[in-house]
Structure 1
Amino acid sequence: MPYSGTVQVGGPADVHELRDLMISKVAVGPMNNNAYLLRCRATGEQLLIDAANDAGTLLELIGDDGIASVVTTHRHGDHWQALQEVVRATGARTYAGRHDAEGIPVPTDVLLDDGDTLRVGEVGLTARHLVGHTPGSIALVYDDPSGHPHLFTGDCLFPGGVGNTFGSAENFARLIDDVEQKLFGQLPDETWVYPGHGADTTLGAERPHLGEWRERGW
C-alpha cells in the first residue's frame, strides 16, 4: 500500500519508504498525537520524533534494534508523556529546542538551535527554530537527495494553518513570520509535511492560503 499518512490511535503504523530513510508514523492517545520513527537504511540506526504517549505502542514500533535518539518538538505535555519510559527502556539521547528544554521534565542531552544538524545513521536532519506556539519549538527538515524534502513540524504547521498561539496576536505574528521565512521561504512546494497531530500535507497545498491565515489572525 502506498503511504497516505492516515493513522488512528490503536491502529497500525503507516510507513513512508524513501531510498535512504524509512519513516513510520503512528498515532497515540488520548490527544491523537503523531509520533515518527526514522530508520537509516544504510546503518539501521533509528530516531524517534515525539515520545508523545502510549510507551508500549512506541516501544513495539521501535522493536529490538532500539533507538539512538529521541527528539521532542516542543514543551507541551502531550508530546512527552512517554519520554521518560522510552528513554529508560532504550538509553536514547534526548534532543529538544534550547528554549523549550526547561519545560520538559526529562533532561535534554542535546539542545538544538536554528540550523543545527542531527543525524540518524548516515542521514542528516536540520533543525528550524520556530517561535510562537512555544518559545522553543523545533521543526526538522530532511532534504532527500533523491527526492523532495520532508518536514516534521510538531505543532507549528498543520493542514489549514499554523499552530495555536492561544489568542496572542504577537505570538501569531512571530509564528507565521517564522513559518513563512524558514519553511515556505526555503523549501519547495513538493515538501512533504508531517505534523504533530492529524493528516499530512505539502507546502504546495498550503502556500496559496498564507495570506488568508494572516488576515484571519490564527
Structure 2
Amino acid sequence: MTARVDHLVTSGTFSLDGGTWEVDNNVWIVGDDEEAIVVDAAHDADAILAALGGRALRAIVCTHAHNDHIDAAPALAEATGAPVLLHPDDLPLWKQTHPGRAPDGELADGQTLTVAGTRLTVLHTPGHAPGAVCLHAPELVTVLTGDTLFQGGPGATGRSFSDFPTIVDSIRERLLTLPPETLVRPGHGETTTIGVEAPHLQEWIDRGH
C-alpha cells in the first residue's frame, strides 16, 4: 500500500524565555494503513492515538525541541512503545520541558527513516533551533519543515537558541535546492511549495526576521 501524509491540528501553548502563547500545531502522520511515524507530537497524545487508528507507530520524530512540538511525545511513546527521536543539538531545549526523560534516539543529517516502504531523509536545518531538522520524502513530493520554513517565510529567530543568518543559510542550502513542486508541510499554518517560496528569499533577508 502506498504511503500517505495524514494531518492533524492540535492546540496548546508555546513557552520560552518567560513568555507563553496560545498556538495551533500541525501533527503529520506518514505511513499506510499498517504502520506510521508521527512528526511532532504536539499537545494531545490521545488525539494523535485516535488519528493513528491502531496503526503500528514506528517512531516519534521531533523536528526540534520547543515545548509545543514535544509536549505529548513521552505520553505517546508510553502508549505505543515507539521511540522518540531528536537531533542532539536540541537536548538543552528538550530538558526544559522533559528534565527527567531523555529522547530514545538521535537524528543525524543524512539519516534515512523508512516507513511503509517510503524513505524520509533527515536534513539538519539549524536556525529556529540548533537541532532543527526537516524530513524530505521525495516519493511523496513532500518536505516536512517543522518551524524552519512556512508559507511566507522562515521560522521565528527572535528568542533563545535561534539565529536569523543561520536559518536563512539552512533554507537556501537545504530546502530551496529541492524540486520546486515539493510540498512544504510546516509545523504551523498552511501547506505551500518550494517553488512558491523560493523567489522570496531576498525579501526575507531584507526584512531581517
Cα distance in 1 between the residues matched to 2:136 and 2:159: 28
Which residue number in structure 1 is paired with residue 170 of structure 2?
178
8 Å CA contact 1:98, 1:136 repeated in 2: yes
Secondary structure in structure 2 of the residue aligned to 1:198: coil
User: Cα offset for 1:102?
Assistant: 4.3
Asked if the contact 1:119/1:125 (under 8 Å) is kept, the reply is: yes
* Residue 155 (structure 2) pairs with residue 160 (structure 1): no
TM-score (norm 2): 0.87
Shift of 1:166: 0.4
Q: Does 1:190 align with 2:181?
A: yes
Taking the aligned partners of 1:167 and 1:197, their CA distance within structure 2 comes to: 17
The equivalent of 1:216 in structure 2 is 207
1:46 pairs with one of 4, 23, 36: 36
Gaps of 5+ in 2: 13-22
Answer whether contact 1:40 1:123 (CA < 8 A) is retained.
no
SS in 2 for 1:67: strand
Displaced runs of 4+ in structure 1, greater than 3 A? Answer: none
Q: CA deviation at 1:40?
A: 3.7
Give secondary structure in 2 for the equivalent of 1:29.
Answer: strand
Pairwise CA distance, 1:167: 6.6
Q: Within 5 A, what are the aligned runs for 1:104-123?
A: 104=94, 105=98, 106-123=101-118
Matches of 1:81 and 1:60, distance apart in 2: 17
SS at match of 2:180: coil
What residue ranges of structure 1 are gaps of 5+ in the alignment?
Answer: 1-18
Over the matched positions of the two proteins, sequence identity in percent amounts to 36
Structure-1 separation of matches of 2:163 and 2:170: 11
* Aligned partner of 1:59 among 45, 49, 53: 49
Q: Deviations over 1:151-187 (max 9, x none)?
A: 000000001110100079x8111110111101112x1
Q: Does 1:24 align with 2:16?
A: no
Per the TM alignment, residue 20 of structure 1 is displaced from its structure 2 partner at its CA by 2.4
Paired position in structure 1 for 2:20: none
> 1:40, 1:122 within 8 Å by CA — same for their partners in 2?
no
Indicate if the aligned counterparts of 2:85 and 2:107 stay in contact, CA closer than 8 A: yes
CA distance in 1, matches of 2:30, 2:159: 34
Matching residue of 2:136: 141
- SS at the partner of 1:133? coil
- In the aligned structure 2, how far is the partner of 1:109 from the partner of 1:55? 17
Tell me, yes or no, if the aligned pair for 1:50 and 1:70 is still in contact at 8 Å: yes
Aligned residues, how many?
A: 193
Q: Say whether residues 1:199 and 2:190 are aligned partners.
A: yes
After superposition, the C-alpha distances for 1:76-95 in whole angstroms (9 at most, x for unaligned) are 00001111111110000111
Structure number with higher helix proportion: 2
